[in-house]
Structures are given as C-alpha cells and as structure tokens.
Amino acid sequence: MLKQKTLFRRIAGVFVALAVGATVSSVAVAAGTAWPQKAVTMVVPFPAGGSSDTIARVLAQPLNDKLGQPFVIDNRPGATGAIGATFVKRAPADGYTLLVASIGVYAVNPFLQKNLAYDPAKDFDLLTVAVRAPNVLVANPNFPAKNLAELVAHMKKNPGKVSFATSGAGSSDHLTAALFWQKSGTDGLHVPYKGGAPAISDLLAGQVDVSFQNLNAVIQHIRTGKLRALAITSDKRSALLPDVPTMAEAGVKDVEVYSWQAVAAPKGLPADVKSRLHGALVSALKEPGMQKKLGEQGFEVVANTPEQFVQFENEELKRWKTVIEQGKITLE
C-alpha cells in the first residue's frame, strides 16, 4: 500500500512538473512572438542617395531606438521601383520586410508598365505617407525666360523645342512636366535621364533648358544662383523659397504636385504589428528634431493614418492615370 501511495505521489509530481513546464513554455512562446524579435529590412526600390533612400535612412535609427531592433536598408533598384516592390509583395507578412518608396511605385507604375508583377492598391498594407515635397521648375541661368510667363510665351513660339530634363520616363518630374504642358497649352521636348542626379548635372551645364525637380534636390543650386527657380508646384509658397511663386500665382493653374515617400508592408500584416509599427513611424516623424531636419531638406512631414493613405493613393492613381492617358506617355 505504501509503495502504491509513493508511486501515486511520483506520478502526480510528474504531471505537476509537466503542467508547470507547459505553462512556462506557453509564456516563452508568447514572449517569443512579440514583434520585433530580429532585424527589420526596409527595402528601397531605388539606388542609394535618392529621396526614398534618404527617408529610409533617416527613419532607421529612431525606429531602432523605439522598437529595440535594427532597421536595415536594402536597396533593390530596377524597373522604376517595380523590382523592389515585387520583392516586398512576395515577402512574408510578418513585419520584418517593409517598403519605403515614392509616388512612382505607389501610383504611376500600373499605367506605364505592362505585366506589372504587383498591384499597389491590393498587394500591400499601407502604413503611412511619411513626407512630401513639391517640385520646383528650374532653368539654367542662361535660358532666356526669366519667369513662368516668359517660359510659356517662349514655348508657344517654339513648340517642342524647349528641353525638359527628367529623371526618367514616368518619373514624378516627367509627369509634372506633362501636366504642365497640358494645363498651359504648350509642348516641350522630353529628355529622360537615368536618375535625377545626371539630369540636374546636365541642367547645370546648360545641356538642357529646364526641369521640374524635387525641392530638396535643387534647393542649394537655387540658393547659389546656379539654377533659376521659375515656380513651385505646392499649394502655397515654400518657406525655403519665399520669393518663388506657386504655379497658380505665376499663371498656370491645376499644377499642384508633390513627390512623396511612403511606408508599406506585404498584405496581411498582423493587426498588432501594424498598429505598433505605425505608431513608431508616426512618433519618429513627429519628433521636433526630425521635423526640423527634414524641413531643412525641403520635406514636409505627413505621417497620416493607414486609412488616409489608402484614400490618398486612390486619388493619386486616378489623377496620374488621366495625365498619362491624355499625354500618351509610355516608357519607350
């Protein structure tokens, strides 16, 4: 009988141990699933040095500080951002792969690239539009037009002859030029480059006449007099260039354009991860030091909600579809 009681005690002890072990294991598993538990990759679908790359790198350290894991930049350029975007679409929706990209990836590529391997409206969980920046219409100082009215008059007298440098077919600066031609009743000569840097370089050298460029990319050249700013595409004048009129002020309406950079993740992100990630992004972007730093570079912090981002993207898709179709714009 004593032996049986001893046996029962031992068996009961085993069950208790197993139960305690199971509880501990459950807690450990729960703790192990708390995001993030490892480095997060921020895919930038463009070469290093551009606006999207700049925003990703500016955000990486604050996100690391807030969430306790490294945020690593992975530049995957090609096909106007489509290669990197497709990579993110195919990544697990676990919060460890993010997309930091621009207007072209989110709102333009579907209308310019045949057989695009991703759908920006369906394949991503949109997190936030991080920043936006207007484009500035800049001219080589030796170009005869000193303001927008003179440029329009010159173009009407010389249709198809004024050269507009862009960072490539279908880029934000190309589409802004196309919109400007449509709204001003003019026609320019499109000169596409493989990126903004070579386009600006040839503009500085006088190889091309004018260009719509992101404010942050040309602000220093304007300040030093190497480029002349004719107008800005924002809805109001920029504090960085208070003497430069908006397009509407200068006589051409409905050419309000912002280039923007936004953050997204593969579709199906867990709700808790999405909420925590969005909170960290917005918190980082709204820090006074961050806003000051970005503002000095020509960026305006947006930091909107996922729902606002969805609505905004739909509006941008409709807008640029119309511009592309009306302008008969292709990548060829």
Tell me the pLDDT band of 301, cut-offs 50, 70 and 90.
very high
In this prediction, residue 88 has a pLDDT band, given cuts at 50, 70 and 90, of very high
Query: How long, in residues, is the chain?
Result: 332
* Residue 9 covered by a domain: no
* pLDDT tens profile 30-78: 334 699 999 999 999 988 888 899 999 999 999 999 999 999 999 999 8
Please tell me whether residues 226 and 77 are part of one structural domain: no
**Residue at which a domain ends, from 196, 215, 232:** 232
Does 271 lie in the same domain as 127? yes
CA 161, CA 130: separation in Å to the nearest integer?
A: 37
The 3-state DSSP class for residue 229 equals strand
Q: Mean per-residue pLDDT for 75-83?
A: 90
Residue 324 has pLDDT above 80, yes or no: yes
Helix, strand, coil in percent for the chain, rounding step 5: 45, 20, 35
Same domain, 47 and 196: no
Instruction: State pLDDT tens for residues 164-211.
Output: 999 888 888 999 999 999 999 999 999 998 778 889 999 999 999 999
Same domain, 141 and 207: yes
Q: Is the residue at 224 inside a domain?
A: yes
Specify if 107 maps to a domain: yes
Host domain of residue 170: 134-232
| Tokens linked to 42 | 């921020």
**What percentage of the chain reaches a pLDDT higher than 90?**
78
The CATH number linked to 179 is 3.40.190.10
Tokens read off for 191: 């000169």
Predicted confidence at residue 332, as pLDDT, reads 63
Instruction: Supply the pLDDT for residue 48.
Output: 86
